[in-house]
């Protein structure tokens, strides 16, 4: 290959910077589309039950096709849980970096349910089986608590008894929130968080969850 051909070939080859910019634009477009779908879903869910909503309606409401919807979410139920995951990940990150103690984290966790009470109450009642909102949200909280404890203890696996205790505690939180929503949220987030703080199993506190100790 002659020098001129090599030069032309080099110029036509995209630079690393150009490729990086293209990747960033692609990621931003993907994020924007996911947010568009999520916002469409939340808007419709304010006036219509989750079980009555269809992927076609959600897609049409935000100007995309159902085929585009399925590129980002496997079904409408994953939208419900994606919203939960995003919120919980953010709260636990603040707890882990020391910005929050356990009670403050619980208050934020509860407040998120109040802010979407109708939509989440519907999810509690109508998402069952493999799409169970109760089971999936409980399992996700268990995952976070176990990870925190293992990191603090610098171990790869928790004692088996703690697995049961964490599952019991996280399941209790989910059940209590469901009842709180069902009864019209009769107490404040602060009072509710106090009750949940008082219910932390002593074994968890002893193991390495000192900030769960009620004051």
Domain match, 176 and 215 both: yes
Kindly tell me if the per-residue pLDDT of 200 is higher than 80.
Answer: yes
Domain match, 202 and 180 both: yes
As given in the structure block, the two tokens for residue 117 are 């009470």
Kindly tell me if the per-residue pLDDT of 65 is higher than 70.
Answer: yes
Domain match, 147 and 65 both: no
Task: Show which of 43, 73, 103 is a domain's final residue.
Answer: 73
Domain match, 163 and 67 both: no
Could you say which DSSP state residue 131 is in? G
Kindly tell me if the per-residue pLDDT of 54 is higher than 90.
Answer: yes
Give mean pLDDT, residues 67-74: 94
The residue ranking higher by pLDDT, 131 or 148, is 148
Decide: residue 58, CB within 10 A, 0-12 exposed, 13-18 middle, 19+ buried.
buried
Note the pLDDT tens digit of each residue in 28-51: 456 689 999 999 998 898 888 788
Decide: residue 41, CB within 10 A, 0-12 exposed, 13-18 middle, 19+ buried.
buried
> For position 24, what pLDDT does the model report?
43
CB 93 within 8 A of CB 52: no
Closest CA to 174 of 206, 119, 207, 136: 136
CB 120 within 8 A of CB 127: no
Domain match, 92 and 67 both: no
Domain match, 82 and 61 both: no
What share of the chain has pLDDT > 90, as a percent? 44
Q: Per the structure, how many domains does the chain have?
A: 2
For the domain that residue 43 is a member of, what is the CATH number? Answer: 1.10.10.60
Task: Show which of 73, 100, 134 is a domain's final residue.
Answer: 73
Kindly tell me if the per-residue pLDDT of 14 is higher than 80.
Answer: no
Rounded distance, CA 4 to CA 214, Å? 76
Domain match, 65 and 87 both: no
Give mean pLDDT, residues 150-171: 90
* Structural domain of 38: 1-73
Closest CA to 142 of 173, 107, 109: 173
Domain match, 162 and 192 both: yes
Q: pTM of the predicted model, to two decimals?
A: 0.75
End-to-end alpha carbon distance in the chain: 78
Domain match, 62 and 94 both: no
Domain match, 103 and 186 both: yes
Task: Show which of 73, 104, 122 is a domain's final residue.
Answer: 73
**Side-chain half-sphere exposure of 105, counting CA atoms within 13 A:** 22
Note the pLDDT tens digit of each residue in 85-130: 989 999 999 998 888 889 999 999 999 888 778 778 888 887 888 7
Domain match, 51 and 109 both: no
CB 135 within 8 A of CB 129: no
Q: Which residues contact 112 (CB under 8 A, 6 or more apart)?
A: 87, 91
Domain match, 50 and 37 both: yes
């Amino acid at each position: 290959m002659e020098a001129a051909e090599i030069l032309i070939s080099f110029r036509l080859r995209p630079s690393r910077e150009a490729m990086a910019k293209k990747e960033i634009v692609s990621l931003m477009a993907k994020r924007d589309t996911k947010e568009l779908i999520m916002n469409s879903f939340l808007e419709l869910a304010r006036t219509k039950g989750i079980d009555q909503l269809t992927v076609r309606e959600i897609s049409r409401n935000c100007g995309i096709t159902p085929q585009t919807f399925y590129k980002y979410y496997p079904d409408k139920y994953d939208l419900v849980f994606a919203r939960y995951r995003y919120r919980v990940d953010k709260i636990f990150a603040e707890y882990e970096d020391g910005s929050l103690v356990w009670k403050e984290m619980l208050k934020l966790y509860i407040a998120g349910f109040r802010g979407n009470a109708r939509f989440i109450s519907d999810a509690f009642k109508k998402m069952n089986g493999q799409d169970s909102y109760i089971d999936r949200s409980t399992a996700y909280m268990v995952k976070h608590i176990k990870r925190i404890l293992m990191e603090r203890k610098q171990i790869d696996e928790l004692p088996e008894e703690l697995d049961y205790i964490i599952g019991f505690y996280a399941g209790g939180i989910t059940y209590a929130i469901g009842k709180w929503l069902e009864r019209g949220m009769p107490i404040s987030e602060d009072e509710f968080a106090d009750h949940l703080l008082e219910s932390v199993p002593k074994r968890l506190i002893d193991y390495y969850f000192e900030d769960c100790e009620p004051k």
